[in-house]
Amino acid sequence: MNPTLALEVPFLDLKVQYRALAPEITRAVADVLESAQLVGGPFVENFEQEFASYIGARYTIGVSSGTSALELALRVAGIGPGDEVLVPANTFFATAEAVSNVGARPVFTDVDPTSFHLDVSSAERMITSRTRAIIPVHLYGRAMDLRQVLEFAAAYRLQIIEDAAQAHGSARNGTKVGASGRLTCFSFYPGKNLGAYGDAGAVTTNDAEEARNLRLLRDHGSPAKYQHSVIGTNARLDGLQAAILSIKLCQLDQWNHLRREHAKLMASALADSPVTPPEVTTAGEHVFHLFVVRTPQRNALRNYLRANGIGTGIHYPVPLHLTEAYQQLGYPGHGAFPIAEQLADEILSLPMYAELTDEQIEYTIDAVLNFAG
């Protein structure tokens, strides 16, 4: 703690959450270690059932990360070399990376300036005879309105694979993201709304065949020990993470509720301020994994908040078509996806987690309101 500051507001504080759950977590970890069911096994199966029932999906297949969830889902959907997959330019790198890792080509689309979600009209301009799939991302925790995506995918016979890495528990019209029956990919990276204590992920689906194939692929294509019916990989979820996730899953609704309450307060207080706050939509649609504001003076605001002890993030500073890794795809550079590019310069993620105190929230709001630019 810097003694010259009135208060500090870390961008994320996983330690506070841990302290509240420490006794339960310690017991669960000891149970796993005592049982020696470390990879796969009853703790994983238990969590898979709990998560499926929480989401309202028939099947949950636990895997080693959100990235492997996307890779396996793409493989199960039959996407591979020669195929093109539509991906929003403003998302975490892994959404596109998974496409590349199955041998297909990510094709970027622009995004909507208000919802920050994939813009279907931009996707339509990128269609070719090789386009096979589209990955809508429920970015920042807001469940995307998929009606246009569904029409578009039906018109061009595209598979839809949903990236719900940031959207645990968000819902539209009472249906949770992941319950649609389509392959939906979750990450349990520690900072997520439902986070493990290491890497972990899951795919949900309502299709028994897809579930079976996902289970095969995550475990060396192996239906039984030393039998290998297909070439898979090692993308298994481990028992420790599963047992920890089972404990945290019981808290998820309450944590999401608190995030929403904090977001409502912050958004209304910042309505007439130097920043544009995110839309606070109907109950349940947004679980505010991130609270992302916009301002043309982003860098100055970020520095000002830092000087006042408030941590921030940028999600994401470089649109995917401008990353070094994807220069190989030959996009024209700046100007290809103007909205995503403008967002990258203007967005700022303020601290957002269930454990934020009233004092921290007020302090953050005041700091933004006092920012003169």
Ligand X SMILES: Cc1ncc(COP(=O)(O)O)c(C=O)c1O
195 contacts ligand X (rule: CB under 6 A) = no
Regarding 295 and contact with ligand X (CB under 6 A), the answer is: no
The residues pairing with 187 across neighbouring beta strands, listed in sequence order, are 201
Using CB atoms within 10 Å of the CB of residue 142, give its burial: 0 to 12 exposed, 13 to 18 middle, 19+ buried.
buried
In the range 145-184, which residues lie near ligand X by CB under 6 A?
163, 165-166
Q: Which of 182, 79, 63, 85 is nearest to 131 (CA)?
A: 85
Side-chain-facing half-sphere of 326: CA atoms under 13 Å: 24
Nearer to ligand X (CB atom), residue 133 or residue 301:
133
**Which value, in Å, is the radius of gyration of the alpha carbons in the chain?**
21
Q: Pick from 47, 51, 152, 189: which binds ligand X (CB under 6 A)?
A: 189
Q: Which is nearer to ligand X, 17 or 95 (CB)?
A: 95
- The site map against ligand X for 80-99 (x = CB under 6 A) is -----------xx-xx----
201: contact with ligand X by CB under 6 A: yes
Pick between residue 107 and residue 361 the one whose CB is nearest to ligand X: 107
Helices 42-55 and 239-249, interaxial angle, to 10°? 30
Closest approach of Cβ 9 to ligand X, in Å? Answer: 22
Contacts with ligand X, 40-69, as mask; x by CB under 6 A: -------------------------xxx--
In the complex, minimum distance from the CB of residue 67 to ligand X, in angstroms, rounded to a whole number = 3
Question: b/e for 61-88, b at 16 or more Cβ within 10 A?
Answer: bbbbbbbbbbbbbbbbbebeeebbbbbb
Q: Helix 14-35 crosses helix 239-249 at what angle (to 10 degrees)?
A: 130
| Count of residues of this chain found to bind ligand X when the rule CB under 6 A is applied | 15
Closest contact distance (angstroms) between CB of 185 and ligand X is 7
For residues 189 and 311, the answer to whether their CB atoms sit within 8 Å is no
Closer residue to ligand X, CB minimum distance, 88 or 232: 88
Contact criterion met (CB below 8 Å) for 163 and 137: yes
Residue nearest to ligand X (CB): 66
Q: Give residues with Cβ within 8 angstroms of 254, minimum separation 6.
A: 354
Q: Is 240 in the site for ligand X (CB under 6 A)?
A: no
**In the complex, which residues of this chain contact ligand X (CB under 6 A)?**
65-67, 91-92, 94-95, 137, 163, 165-166, 187, 189, 199, 201
